[in-house]
Amino acid sequence: MLRLRSAVLNEIGMPLVVEELEMPKPKFGEVLVKVEACGVCHTDLHVMKGEVKFPTPAVLGHEVSGVIESIGDGVQSLRRGDRVACPFIIPCGECYYCVRGMDDLCEKFYRYNRLQGQLYDGETRLFRSDGTPVWMYSMGGLAEYTVVPKTAVFRLPSNLPLRESAILGCGVFTAYGAVKNQGAIKPGETAAVVAVGGVGMNLVNIARIFGAAEIIAVDVRRDKLEAATKFGATHVIDSTKNDVISEVMRITDGRGVDVAFECLGRPETVVQALNTVRDGGRVVIVGIAPAGATAAFEITKLVRREVKVLGSYGARVRTDMPEIIGLAQRGAIDLTSLVSRRYPLLRADEAYSALRRGEILGRAIVTTP
């Protein structure tokens, strides 16, 4: 029996353990992808720490790139050998939101996958040799092979680096959705990005692409702020040394930014972002917070000054992912520069430990042989 190696989370709070699982087979409308790389994301870390509820044992990893190994029935537009990238949202294509072009809110993805670790027949594709099910966070990309429904599989141009293209599926994808669909940045507007980690660094870059005239990067680490300037930040604020709100007001002549993106998911940074925008401005909350986390803010200010608060989970898969790949193909998104560390699958837990310590600039990836 063929098997694959996967990094498995057996219990909350425990390290990832590489073990062999049964080789999955694609069902109707699915493909089997030989994984080349999987991005290392804070959302996985939230699951590992128990801050986001998810069943165990599980294989995490939700942005992958690789080569199609085999095709299930009902797949006509993809072929064995295609180089592909897969975003973390897997739209069902038929629920209330998917049919309205809002597949970032796919009902089945949330209900089946994010709550139960299943695909849309109510089953996982991963099992141990004794038949024990292993649950999938998105496609369960921290593995040598993964099964992905065709709705979340996109061909890559030949000029894009295969392994680094994994980050298109969440780091870039999440930032693109926040800027295009929620932040709706127009040329000449000003933006603040609070926390320039994997998603925040991409937000800086995407805001630049959309024509933001001034982009203010905020973080506690000088090395991340220095990196942000390379991707388009016009100003940086070290929040350990400066009052962020005062500095933003100074930079914007007391007006505030048109849109602020919060990428950390902490109450204090959400409130901070709210207080950096101008009257009529937009606050886009991107960071995932521990379950039950709340933020206290002044209601009257939102009412009287018409400040808009928006949540942004990801981009719209079927319309935005081709645009994202096109930007990377044309060189507007430098994938190689955005990936700062590479770990083999056997060291996957080490990658997340580094992420937990805040050591990773941009994005790290886990690669398979």
Residue 292, sorted as left (phi over 0), alpha (psi -120 to 50) or beta, turns out to be: left
The answer to whether residues 36 and 102 belong to one domain is: yes
Quick one: what percent of the chain has pLDDT higher than 70? 100
Look at residue 235 and tell me if it is in a domain: yes
| pLDDT computed for residue 291 by the predictor | 83
Q: Which residue, among 152, 157, 165, 162, has the nearest Cα to 31 in the 3D structure?
A: 152
**Who's near 104: CB < 8 A, 6+ residues apart?**
89, 97, 177, 181, 313, 314, 315, 316, 317
In a domain, 321, yes or no: no
Q: How many helices (H) and strands (E) in the chain?
A: 12, 18
Q: Is residue 145 domain-shared with residue 178, that is, in the same domain?
A: no
* Shared domain check, 300 and 358: no
Query: pLDDT at residue 177 above 80?
Result: yes
Paired strand residues for 59: 8, 136
Residue 324 located in a structural domain: no
Q: What is the mean pLDDT of the chain?
A: 96
Task: Report yes or no on 316 lying in a domain.
Answer: no
Same domain membership, residue 275 and residue 220: yes
Per-residue pLDDT of 80-132, as tens digits, reads: 999 999 999 999 999 999 999 999 999 999 999 999 999 999 999 999 999 99
Q: Evaluate whether residue 290 is within a structural domain.
A: yes
**Averaged pLDDT for residues 356-361:** 93
pLDDT at 369 over 90: no
In-domain check, residue 168: no
Q: Are residues 112 and 254 in the same domain?
A: no
In contact, 194 and 169? CB cutoff 8 Å = no
Q: Where are the alpha helices (DSSP H) in 53-132?
A: 107-108, 115-116
* Stated pTM of the model: 0.95
- Whether the pLDDT of residue 1 is over 80: the answer is no
Does residue 230 belong to any structural domain of this protein?
Answer: yes
Give me the CATH number covering residue 136. Answer: 3.90.180.10
- The CATH number given to whatever domain includes residue 296 is 3.40.50.720
**Is the same domain home to 223 and 358?**
no
Give residue 2's pLDDT band: very low, low, confident or very high (50, 70, 90). Answer: confident
Say whether both 73 and 142 belong to one domain: yes
Residues 286-294, mean pLDDT to the nearest whole number: 90
Range of the domain at 306: 173-311
Residues 217 and 145 in one domain: no
Report, as an integer, the average pLDDT of 238-261: 97
Alpha helices (H) along 72-221:
107-108, 115-116, 171-177, 198-209
Question: Are 324 and 168 contacting, i.e. CB atoms less than 8 angstroms apart?
Answer: yes
Q: Is 359 part of any domain?
A: yes
Residue-wise pLDDT for 314-358, tens only, equals: 999 999 999 999 999 999 999 999 999 999 999 999 999 999 999
Across the range 182-208, mean pLDDT stands at 96
* Torsions phi, psi for 98 (to 5 deg): -60, -40
pLDDT for 70 beyond 90 = yes
| Mean predicted confidence (pLDDT) in 210-218 | 98
Q: Domain tally for the chain?
A: 2
pLDDT in tens, 130-165: 999 999 999 999 999 999 999 999 999 999 999 999
Q: Is the dihedral of CA 167, 35, 83, 86 positive or negative?
A: negative
Residues 210 and 271 in one domain: yes
Q: What is the mean pLDDT of residues 2-15?
A: 94
Identify residue 291 by its one-letter amino acid code. A
Q: Which two tokens stand for residue 73?
A: 């029935």
Do 190 and 123 share a structural domain?
Answer: no
Task: Report the alpha-carbon distance of residue 163 to residue 170 in Å, rounded.
Answer: 14
Query: Based on the domain organization, do 141 and 7 belong to the same domain?
Result: yes
When pLDDT is averaged across residues 280-295 and rounded to a whole number, the result is: 93
215 and 353 together in one domain:
no
